[in-house]
Chain A
C-alpha cells in the first residue's frame, strides 16, 4: 500500500510532473495560496522549498499544510542545515500526523550563500543519513534507539546532479542515497540532454524514478547570476546566448521555449520518468509550460 498519492503515481508508470513553490519571506502567504490554487490540479505533486539558498523564509512544512488544506499533494523539503536530528524527527512526526506523505531529503546549501551569514550551520546529518533516519523511524524507533508511539510512513526522495563537471563522486553519492532508501530523485537543473542520457544509462539499473529538473530562465542576466551564485546550477554558454538573442521584454518567453523544448524531448524519447519544473519566481507561467508541452490536464 502506497504511503501517499504521489507514491501511487510513482508506481503507476505514468510520465510524472512535479513543480515547486518558494514560500514568502514573511507571514503573508496570500501569494503562495494563489500559486497553490493555480497548480494543485495540474501536477502530480508540489514541492515547497526549505530556506532555499539559505535565505530565511516561511517554513516548508507550513506551505505543505496549506497545500493539503487546499486539496493538493505536497512534497516536504527538509535540509540538514538548520536543524539537528531531534528537531527533524519531530517535524517528520508532525508532517505525518497531518497527512504530508512525501519528503525530499537534502543536505542544504551552505549558510554563506544566504542572507544570514553569521548564523550557526547545524549539519548534524547529511542527506544520506536523513534518508536512513526516516526508514529507521518507519520501523518503529527513533535514531536514539527508542521505541516510537506511532511510527510514520513516507515516500522519500533525494536530489542528484547529472550535469556535475566531475561526475564520479556524485555517482557514489547517488548509489548511497538509493541504498539508504530513496524512491525518487529530482535532479538539479538540466540543460544538456547528453549528460542526462549518460546519467540515465547508469541510473536505470536501479528501480528508482528520476524526474529531470527543468529551470525556467527569464533572461541572460538571470542565467549568469545563477551560474555564479546558485550552488548546483551550470547554465551552458549556448543557452545564455540564446536568451541574450531574445527581444527586449521577451526573455521569459524565450526561457519558456527552451524549457518546453527540453520537456518535449525528454517525454518523446522517454529519457527519464518525468520532469520537475522550477519556475523560480515565475510560478504563474507553469500552466503555460504544461500546455505547450502537452502535459496539461493529465494529472488530477
Chain B
C-alpha cells in the first residue's frame, strides 16, 4: 500500500491562501486504506479549515468535497469536469501520483498536495504503518529469506550486519529491529544460512534513475512485418 501522512494544517492553509474556492479531492484507494486522504479525511480537513476560518474571522474561502475511486488514472477524474468549472484550486488528498495526474488533467487549475506521500508499506495493527518495499527494481528477497535489506536495514547494505546493532535493534532507531538480525534468524529457520555467507556485489542503481518507465506492451511495427 502507498502510505502517506496528512500535511500539517498550517501548511495546507498557507498553500490555499491565495485561492478563494477550493475543491477538496479525496482518493478511495490507498489514501483511504492508510487513513490519510479518503472521504472521511476529506471531511475532517474541510471541518478543520472551517474552524480555522471562523477563528480568524476574515476567511474568504469556500470549500467543496469530492472523493473519486482513484486519482492515478485519468478516467476516474472525468466526473470532476463540471465541478471544477468554478474552482480556483484543488487540494488533493491523493498520493503524489494522484496530485500529478490531476494536475495533468486540469492544467489550468493549481493542484495542491494535501498529504506527504511517504513509503510503500503494510500495517500489522490498526494505525501503525511500516515501510516494507523500496521499489528498487532489483528484488532480492530470495537471498534474504523474504526480508528486505534495503528497507529494513537503515543503511540498506547487502552484506550485513554492521557493528551498530545492539539487542537486535538498529543503532539509528532503537525502536526498529536490525534488519540483518531478522534476516539471519529467518535464514537460520529456513536452513539457508549459506545464502547469507555469499558475497553480494554492489547494487545496480541504474534501476533508479528518474523518471522510470515500464513498457509492458510489445513494439509492433504498424506498417506490416515482412516486407
Give the interface of A toward B (CB within 8 A): 80-81, 85, 107-113, 121, 123-129, 132-133, 143, 159-161, 164-166, 168-170, 172-173, 175-176, 179-180, 188, 231-232, 234
Asked if A180 contacts B199 (CB within 8 A), the reply is: yes
Size of chain B's interface in residues, with CB distance under 8 A? Answer: 31
A173–B203 Cα gap in the complex (Å)?
A: 18
A132–B198 Cα gap in the complex (Å)?
A: 13
Q: Are A161 and B163 also in contact (CB < 8 A) when A107-B157, A110-B155, A169-B181 are?
A: yes
Asked if A126 contacts B160 (CB within 8 A), the reply is: yes
A232–B170 Cα gap in the complex (Å)?
A: 11
A80–B170 Cα gap in the complex (Å)?
A: 18
Asked if A129 contacts B201 (CB within 8 A), the reply is: yes
Q: Are A169 and B184 also in contact (CB < 8 A) when A129-B201, A179-B199 are?
A: yes
Asked if B199 contacts A85 (CB within 8 A), the reply is: no
Give the interface of B toward A (CB within 8 A): 154-168, 170-173, 180-181, 184, 193, 196-197, 199-203, 205
Contact of A173 among B160, B168, B170 (CB under 8 A): B160
B interface secondary structure, majority: loop
Question: What residue in chain B is nearest A108 (Cβ atoms)?
Answer: B155
Contact of A231 among B157, B164, B167, B168 (CB under 8 A): B164
* Chain B residues near A121 (CB-CB < 8 A): 155
Question: What residue in chain B is nearest A85 (Cβ atoms)?
Answer: B202
A195–B139 Cα gap in the complex (Å)?
A: 37
Contact of A170 among B156, B161, B173, B199 (CB under 8 A): B161
Distance (whole angstroms) from the CB of A233 to the closest CB of chain B: 9
A85–B206 Cα gap in the complex (Å)?
A: 13
Question: What residue in chain A is nearest B162 (Cβ atoms)?
Answer: A107
Asked if B163 contacts A188 (CB within 8 A), the reply is: yes
Contact of A113 among B160, B165, B171, B184 (CB under 8 A): B171
Asked if B168 contacts A166 (CB within 8 A), the reply is: yes
Q: Are A234 and B166 also in contact (CB < 8 A) when A129-B159, A172-B196, A173-B159 are?
A: yes
